[in-house]
Structure 1
């Protein structure tokens, strides 16, 4: 897919007419087959071969690379991975995001959400080290980006596309390219113009038109589509109009007073300038489309037209070579045209109009996300009732259709959230909060928790940025708590503890009693996992006090157990014994025999540790009686084993053997 989703196997839309690159393809084949410098020196490189297709935007560099990838993909049985390393707007894609997306395409786990980029690239290299894959990296911005992704496996191949050389990548094989040869350029024009004889009856004029396009495939496609839409226009008149179109760059003069024209910009301005005003306005606003991905609903929201009109216009723009086809009903903005569209948008649209278009697009996206989640709810539920009242184009007929929609648009949806934070200047924060919430719920509805976790982590980081920018303490507490939970689950305990404390401060500042009650217990868990049982007992004690103030006896009883366990692990058996007894008394008042049995069992264990076997024996017998009342065979088995240990310590091996045998029988029964 052209909008940069890494995919395992398959290939993106190959509908572009491909011609005139035989020399470059032969060069790439030779570079693939020839031995590297290290191999010739007797020191084979420990990493995969890297082939670079270098050329300026519009030269067809990606199309050439894709053609070569299709040609050699059969040699790599584990498939083709694709990633775009530059976002629309020219910003390099963070390594963490690229590595995460490639791991997802491989179907590999092992990298928790929020992992360090170095850890992610290490996991990616480990996965690639045992596979034979072809890694295609488009729009590489810097050598460092590529160097971190190159597999340490000679059975893999990396094909990279960039504007220039990538110095610093070892043993890279560059293939520089410019325009295609003149005959191929005319053939490309002929393929775009169709059956019209205009190019065949006057081949010299056709060559002049190709020359005016700089023999650049992107320019040739646009001009060819523009000429096909004007069947009565002669080739010579088309050439004159193209040569008379400014390319948008000032003439800097120089010693000769001339400069090389920007062929791509000149062709773009000719074609874009010929559009009707509504179509031209929609074209400019496509610069706002997240990740350059657009469908009829997006386009409709950007300009306020109907979806039917938007779809008709998108088909027309595609026919003119201004869009690439991505999937049925979906298109992407060619990367080479993105800077030109942004320049046009800045020059011809007011910032307030651009912001309004962003807001309309986000609002439409949130509504579709609500429909995407609602279709997973049971029939007759409030969500399904609300879904039935939505306009038909926004609804989904099945959960499968909604999931496919979500997966296809996942990169653009995440890009929409990132752009709203980075470029919204705070004006879109309310919509962004709704988008993050809706997107998170969609991922939870259509994916497993493990699949959804990386995206949810990214979304919570964005929500935290907005909450801190707008000083929204409830949102800040919620985002910090969610991130801390995921950090703790991933084993990043120090980071989790810091976020829990910040979340607690935010919860107290906004008087969020629920969060302020939950967080101390999470801090106790975190310190316990770090082995700091004194602090764990302190935080559990704070959580216990809050639960007592809230009047929640069941939670108070449970927290008594956590406090007592932390005290015992910290070596304070006296305090732990008193706390377990308090827990047992509370379970008795709550008429919870299983809870009381567990608490009394812990009392017996502590009494045994303190050298009081007779008291331990009484406590454990009482605990066993409670377990029988609760009809909990697993707890009975555990307490029988505890009684066996106490009897051994009391010098009664016969009773110990009896209890141990009974405990083993109960365990066997529960395991069947």
Structure 2
């Protein structure tokens, strides 16, 4: 509940879109020019050290037949003796639902993949799924990680992510497959800038904008001609049943409206009943068709697909049919075995057997061991069947079971991901729910990363269950994967706060206000953060909750520290320390003392800071609190650096960073990289310092922390000045000053302006004097020892007033 304090910030700037975390750092030996943090999408610096070749194409379609004319049209995109040149770089395969767009695209992609030696990227954009589609930012995140960019290093800004993606593909020949796109806005950010890359898009829409603006070639896919439809039926059934009469197969094909999706499901049904006459199968389907005719909307293809779905669904054993329709209630289209089991109130063993039968009937797709997903049409159909066949009480019970499964599984993950945080006093899960447990930190982090989207959807799906809504929001805060953008949680957190308000649960309100305050701090919304923490403090005091009060005091102190209101911060930390001592809360006592140490350092009181650090460090090590220990090592590095003990500073910062890496905590990694960069710069390791600042800037951009991103720019600016590259130094100082100005951070803006003035030096003395005058004006309100020394130094230098 209480974050570690911020580091003292230095003048200087840098900007980075370079991918990677610090464990990927490649140390340069000598800097002789060319090392630079580029703008988004700019040049070699954006490329990770390794160049993985992604192979993401799903498996080729088995027993694919026909579509020869369409394959020939697609082949015409490639010219040259070896097909090594592209006529167009974007192909759109459009057509009605179930027409076989993905199958055709997959078959062709597998045929031509060797002509794209730099790999294949694939994403299902789920443009027609009943739930939320995959937006371009999420798709970019997947592609960039496949191209070697560690997950936390993917830029949070969509434009920056798209620019980095284009940069990474600039010199490559790659195949990009964008499946089930609903709108041009999903596609355009995923188009490479390189003429050597080919993009295949499938969609039910024409996506005319891609043809007009991007020169896309469109192939419109209709239903199969009757001979080809019969050939598909034969290809799937041959070897599994006696050869069927061609006329009977033609009748079956007509009942399926000659749509490949419907034909394959029908053929699988025939294959699974080899001793049943085709006449009987046709009669069953004709009866089903008559039922749907009575409900027809007049869209022949759509009704044919629904007919075949219904025909196949009604042939399922009752338990498999029930699981199929209940899965339509799951918050997302992709899910794991244990979530499915709890949804249906089954044991995992029984659920796996039923899921296997659904996969065998082509009503569900298995994507990995114990992981499954729906085709969007089938998910919509399953949801419809649940609403028609399951009583409201049964639907509510199933949804509650799966929501509770995510709640209790996230609570189990919290034990490893945020072990110091108190668990919510949750009621035992309802009957039929068996949450996961985790053996260690990595297992919990793996689950959190894999199912983060489902937990978010579960929290949103709990809108009508106020208790679950606020509990899911609160537990998710402590069980988020390290790479999760905070903006996703903020929406859920606010909804949870509203739910707690409707319940009149003031303790829940205070808890969520506390979480919202911390989230706002991390994305530099400091005024909102302070308001949330102060409101939480009022509630805790009204409730007589001394523990909650102590946490709020500590967090208000942290927010004041970020705003450099040092006396106010120290006062709140001292109150928190007294409360935690009274409560005998050793962990949080050490944390508050750590924060007070950071306040002393910010003020320039190094001796007081060193004493407080040692005291807090002893407490954290006694508790084996690695996060707290790492943060104090980071702070100790800063103190030792300012004392001139450079080797000790470097050792402490390196040890802190190793702790962040072991925890897979990208927020701490990015933060503590600043201290490492400072120590490296102080020790003359300038190329290594640039790498550390670069990684820090990338991580903070991904996490949405603009303040700390700008601090990394500052460090790089100072480093470039030492490298006698004043233009680069001025560039980064200027960007840092602008960012801090937007964030209303006068202190760090002043530091950046001072660095800018130094970088400009004799080249533009008038501008240098102006920037120093601005810096002097900005620091006038600060009266701590460090600010006084800074002000005295500025006053001794020429300004525009001189």
User: Fold conserved (TM > 0.5)?
Assistant: yes
- The aligned runs of 1:430-441 (5 Å cut-off) are 430=468, 433-434=471-472, 437=475, 441=479
Assess if the C-alpha contact under 8 Å between 1:99 and 1:120 holds in 2.
yes
Equivalent-residue separation in structure 2 for 1:320 and 1:565 (angstroms): 65
- The separation in 2 between residues aligned to 1:143 and 1:591, in whole angstroms, is 57
| 2:104 is aligned with 1:64 | yes
Aligned-partner Cα distance in 2 for 1:505–1:74: 61
Question: Counterpart of 1:231 in 2: which secondary structure?
Answer: coil
Cα shift at 1:264: 0.6
Change (3 A) 1:368 1:15: farther
- Please give the alpha-carbon distance, in whole angstroms, between the structure 1 residues aligned to 2:536 and 2:371: 43
**TM-aligned CA deviation for residue 22 of structure 1:** 1.9
The answer to whether the 8 A contact 2:136-2:186 is kept is yes
The aligned residue for residue 359 of structure 1 is 400
Picking from 137, 144, 157, the partner of 2:198 is: 157
- The Cα shift of 1:191 comes to 3.9
Counterpart in the other structure of 2:225 = 181
CA contact (8 A) 2:122 2:176 kept: yes
1:254-653 aligned at under 5 Å gives the runs: 262-366=303-407, 410=450, 413-427=451-465, 429-430=467-468, 433-434=471-472, 437=475, 441=479, 443=481, 452-454=482-484, 458-459=488-489, 461-471=491-501, 472-487=508-523, 493=524, 495-511=525-541, 512-528=548-564, 536-537=565-566, 539-540=568-569, 542-543=571-572, 546-547=575-576, 550=579, 559=596, 562=599, 637=644
Contact 1:461 1:479 (C-alpha < 8 Å) held by counterparts: no
Output one character per residue of 1:144-182: Cα deviation in whole Å (capped at 9) or x when no partner. Answer: 221222122222221111102002222111111122333
1:82 to partner: Cα distance: 2.0
Distance 1:504 1:14, change over 3 A: farther
Determine helix, strand or coil for the equivalent of 1:9. coil
Distance across 2 between alignment mates of 1:248 and 1:90: 25
Shift of 1:519: 2.9
Cα pair distance change 1:62/1:119, threshold 3 Å: same
CA offsets, 1:622-666, max 9 Å, x none?
xxxxxxxxxx99776579xxxxxxxxxxxxxxxxxxxxxxxxxxx
Where 1:291 maps in the other structure, the secondary structure is coil
Deviations 1:484-512 (A, max 9, x none): 3432xxxxx3x345334433433433343
Instruction: Classify the secondary structure of the residue corresponding to 1:352.
Output: helix
Counterpart CA distance in 1 for 2:55 and 2:472 is: 35
> How has the CA–CA distance of structure 1 residues 228 and 112 changed in structure 2, closer, same or farther, with 3 Å as cutoff?
closer
Label 1:558 to 1:324 Cα distance change in 2 as closer, same or farther (>3 A). closer
- Label 1:375 to 1:465 Cα distance change in 2 as closer, same or farther (>3 A): closer
Query: Which residue of structure 2 aligns with residue 231 of structure 1?
Result: 274
- Alpha-carbon distance change, 240 to 392 in structure 1, aligned in 2, over 3 angstroms: closer
For residues 342 and 475 of structure 2, the distance between their equivalents in structure 1, rounded to whole angstroms, comes to 20
Structure 1 pair 300–541 and aligned structure 2 pair: CA distance change class (3 A): closer
Q: CA deviation at 1:86?
A: 2.6
**Which whole-Å CA distance do the structure 2 matches of 1:117 and 1:504 have between them?**
33
Q: TM-score, normalized by length of structure 1?
A: 0.68
Question: 1:275 and 1:557 mapped to 2: Cα distance?
Answer: 62
Contact 1:296–1:308, Cα closer than 8 Å, also in 2:
no
Q: Does 1:98 find its partner at 2:128? A: no
Does residue 244 (structure 1) correspond to residue 287 (structure 2)? The answer is: yes
Q: Is 1:77 the counterpart of 2:117 in the alignment?
A: yes
CA distance in 2, matches of 1:501, 1:376: 27
Q: What SS does the aligned partner of 2:65 have?
A: coil
2:163 maps to which residue?
122
- SS of 1:215's equivalent in the other structure is coil
In 2, Cα distance between equivalents of 1:104 and 1:638: 39
Residue of structure 2 in register with 1:21 after alignment: 67
Structure 2 equivalent of residue 9 of structure 1: 55
Distance in 2, matches of 1:458 and 1:517, equals 26
For 1:205, the equivalent position in structure 2 comes to: 248
For the 8 Å contact 1:225–1:320, the answer to whether it is kept is yes
**Partner Cα separation in structure 2 for residue 365 and residue 513 of structure 1:** 30
- Shift of the 213–537 alpha-carbon distance from structure 1 to 2, 3 Å rule, reads same
Count the aligned residue pairs: 535
Aligned equivalents of 1:399, 1:263: Cα separation in 2: 49
Task: State the SS of the aligned residue for 1:289.
Answer: coil
What stretches of structure 1 of length at least 5 have no aligned partner?
Answer: 1-6, 379-389, 444-451, 488-492, 529-535, 569-579, 596-631, 640-666
**Cα distance change, pair 81–587 in 1 and its aligned pair in 2 (3 A):** closer
Q: How far apart, in 1, do the equivalents of 2:372 and 2:472 lie?
A: 26
1: CA distance, partners of 2:263 / 2:126: 24
Is the CA contact 1:460–1:479 (under 8 Å) kept in the aligned structure 2? no
> Deviation of residue 89 (structure 1)?
0.8
Q: CA deviation at 1:375?
A: 9.2
Deviations 1:339-392, CA, capped at 9 Å, x for gaps: 2222222222233322321222233445556677879999xxxxxxxxxxx999
SS of the counterpart of 1:89?
A: coil
Q: State the structure with bigger RCO (CA 8 A, min sep 6), 1 or 2.
A: 2
Distance 1:172 1:135 in 2: 14
Q: Distance in 2 between matches of 1:517 and 1:397?
A: 34
**Matched residue SS, 1:470:** helix
1:395-453 deviation per Cα after TM superposition (whole angstroms, max 9, x unaligned): 6789888777666xx1xx2332233233322317537735873695473xxxxxxxx23
Q: Secondary structure at the match of 2:200?
A: strand
Root-mean-square deviation (CA, aligned residues, Å) is 4.5
2:461 and 2:104 mapped to 1: Cα distance?
A: 34
Measured after TM superposition, the shift of residue 127 of structure 1 is 3.3
Question: Highest CA radius of gyration, 1 or 2?
Answer: 1
- Any conservation in 2 of the 1:440–1:456 contact (CA below 8 Å)? no
Q: Structure 1 residues 475 and 296, CA, compared in 2 at 3 Å: closer, same or farther?
A: same
Contact 1:287 1:338 in 2 (8 A): yes
Whether the aligned pair in 2 keeps the contact of 1:54 and 1:162 (CA below 8 Å) is yes
Aligned equivalents of 2:148 and 2:534: distance in 1? 37
SS in 2 for 1:301: helix
Q: Is the 8 A contact 2:342 2:401 kept in 1?
A: yes
Q: Secondary structure at the match of 1:54?
A: strand
Secondary structure in 1 matching 2:463: coil
Among 79, 86, 93, which residue is 1:53 paired with?
93
Q: Distance between the aligned counterparts of 1:244 and 1:289, measured in 2?
A: 31
SS of match in other structure, 1:225? helix
Q: Tell me the TM-score normalized by structure 2.
A: 0.58
Q: Tell me, in whole angstroms, the C-alpha distance in 2 between the residues paired with 1:311 and 1:551.
A: 49
Query: Helix, strand or coil: the match of 2:273?
Result: coil
